[in-house]
């Protein structure tokens, strides 16, 4: 790992109050492809809110897309895989106190609307309101030293980090939730054959969670180091798509049927058609990475209209899995800490974003440690 500091990413709490003058450092998005490390105001909290000192925040593919493609207006402070320590609480907060170590989700549903009643939490209007900010428009804010957590997230969207669990490990609670939601959305079950395309940080989580559900899980990735990591994390086999036909290999291992489920963790439009070719009739293809507003995909209609294959989407976290995903991370049932290959302090934020966007042989999960 690069740039790690035990005081920041270890299990101990960071209880320092905001610095004099209420200023802090933050990695700020300034337009398509542009980020900078700047001094910004520490967020002021109100009644029902908490101020969290960020200790670790993972870099997500969604952050990279927003930064590189300019999908949202600047300036913004991104980062939503947040673990840290409560340093201030607003009036009326009883669940949390200064010194408590916690992870914070940034989206929390109302639990009562049309979509919540159907467990489509990510479509809830309250869920779509970002409830954690480091300034500017609320957008997570974990790439800063402090974040303001708003009342509905304080009440329903934070989980306490047990003693002995590092902040690095805890920062996986949100991505584990989103990936577990996707695996369950794809209805991966025991005894099935699943294929995960792409073995970056998200693909590895999808693979491990599909295995946790009891499936035989195959994987593919063009990078040798990621295939090796995939096997070390439990994949049955991991294929090089540049060297073999992954479709042919899957057909050989499934009596010519194809996989029961294919999960796509790479945002390449052509992979949708390939995924539909690799899944059996009546099987499921789950789109995890194909989530930007301008991408277009196309596929042969017979996959759906004749072979009855399902094309599914999954976005963001599942409120019903919040506590369960936290317990899964904290119990160390998955080798998550080993996925972190690079940590960067805020002053090296541009380097961290560049590495996450352009992985090299020895890189996997990149984490900012403010």
Identify the band that residue 266 occupies on the pLDDT scale cut at 50, 70 and 90.
Answer: very high
- Tell me whether the omega of the peptide bond preceding residue 239 falls within 30 degrees of 0, making it cis: no
The answer on 216 and 144 residing in a single domain is: no
Looking at the structure, tell me whether residues 189 and 161 fall in a common domain.
no
If you search the block for the tokens 């699943």, which residue do you land on?
194
Confidence of residue 328 (pLDDT cuts 50, 70, 90): very high
The residues pairing with 103 across neighbouring beta strands, listed in sequence order, are: 83, 159
Q: What is the pLDDT of residue 20?
A: 66
Same domain assignment for residues 221 and 265: yes
Tens-digit pLDDT profile for residues 215-256: 999 999 999 999 999 999 999 999 999 999 999 999 999 999
Token pair listed for 200:
């970056």
3-state DSSP assignment of residue 175: helix
Residue 4 is predicted with a pLDDT of 39
How confident is the model at residue 8, as a pLDDT? 41
Tell me: the pLDDT tens digits for 114-160? 999 999 999 999 999 999 999 999 999 999 999 999 999 999 999 99
What phi and psi values does residue 283 have, to the nearest 5 degrees? -85, -175
Give the CATH number, domain containing residue 360: 3.90.180.10
Q: Which of 203, 216, 212, 206 is nearest to 186 (CA)?
A: 206
Return mean pLDDT, the chain: 95
What is the number of structural domains in the chain?
2
The reported pLDDT for the residue numbered 17 is: 73
Token digits of residue 224: 């040798």
- Is there a domain that residue 255 lies in? yes
Q: What is the pLDDT of residues 269-302, one digit of tens each?
A: 999 999 999 999 999 999 998 888 888 999 999 9
Are 19 and 162 within one domain? yes
Q: What is the pLDDT of residue 5?
A: 36
Question: Per-residue confidence at 323, pLDDT binned at 50, 70, 90?
Answer: very high
Mark whether 249 and 210 lie in a shared domain: yes
What is the pLDDT, as a whole number, of residue 241? 98
pTM (predicted TM-score): 0.94
**202 and 104 share one domain:** no
Q: Are residues 87 and 157 in the same domain?
A: yes
The pLDDT score that the predictor gives to residue 3 is 46
Confidence of residue 14 (pLDDT cuts 50, 70, 90): low
Q: What is the mean pLDDT of residues 324-346?
A: 96
Tell whether 168 and 201 lie within a shared domain.
no
161 and 27 belong to one structural domain: yes
Whether residues 303 and 350 share a domain: the answer is no
CATH code: domain of residue 204: 3.40.50.720
Domain assignment of residue 131, given as a range: 6-172+336-368
Where does 235-321 have alpha helices with state H?
246-253, 270-278, 302-305
Q: Crossing angle for the helix pair 349-357 and 61-69, nearest 10 degrees?
A: 100
């Amino acid at each position: 790992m690069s740039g790690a500091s035990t005081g920041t990413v270890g299990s101990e709490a960071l209880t320092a109050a905001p610095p004099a003058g209420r200023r802090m450092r933050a990695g700020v998005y300034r337009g398509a492809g542009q980020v900078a490390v700047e001094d910004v105001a520490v967020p002021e909290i109100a009644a029902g809110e908490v101020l969290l000192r960020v200790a670790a925040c993972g870099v997500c593919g969604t952050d990279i897309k927003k930064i590189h493609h300019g999908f949202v207006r600047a300036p913004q402070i991104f980062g939503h895989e947040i673990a840290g320590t409560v340093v201030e609480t607003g009036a009326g907060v009883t669940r949390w106190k200064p010194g408590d170590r916690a992870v914070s989700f940034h989206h929390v549903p109302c639990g009562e609307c049309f979509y919540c009643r159907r467990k489509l939490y990510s479509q809830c209007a309250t869920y779509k309101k970002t409830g954690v900010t480091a300034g500017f428009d609320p957008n997570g804010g974990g790439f800063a030293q402090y974040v303001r957590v708003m009342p509905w997230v304080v009440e329903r969207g934070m989980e306490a980090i047990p003693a002995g669990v590092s902040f690095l490990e805890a920062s996986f609670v949100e991505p584990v939730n989103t990936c577990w939601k996707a695996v369950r959305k794809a209805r991966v079950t025991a005894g099935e054959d699943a294929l995960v395309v792409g073995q970056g940080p998200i693909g590895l989580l999808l693979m491990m969670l599909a295995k946790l559900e009891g499936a035989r899980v195959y994987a593919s990735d063009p990078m040798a180091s990621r295939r090796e990591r995939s096997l070390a994390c439990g994949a049955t086999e991991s294929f090089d798509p540049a060297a073999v036909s992954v479709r042919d290999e899957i057909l050989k291992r499934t009596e010519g049927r194809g996989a029961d489920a294919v999960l796509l963790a790479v945002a390449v439009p052509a992979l949708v058609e390939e995924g539909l070719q690799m899944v059996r009739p009546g099987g499921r293809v789950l789109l995890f990475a194909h989530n930007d507003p301008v991408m277009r995909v196309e596929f042969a209609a017979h996959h759906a209209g004749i072979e009855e294959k399902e094309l599914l989407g999954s976005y963001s976290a599942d409120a019903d899995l919040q506590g369960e995903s936290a317990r899964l991370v904290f119990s160390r049932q998955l080798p998550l800490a080993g996925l972190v290959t690079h940590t960067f302090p805020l002053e090296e934020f541009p380097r961290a974003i560049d590495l996450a966007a352009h992985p090299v042989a020895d890189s996997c999960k990149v984490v900012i440690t403010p």
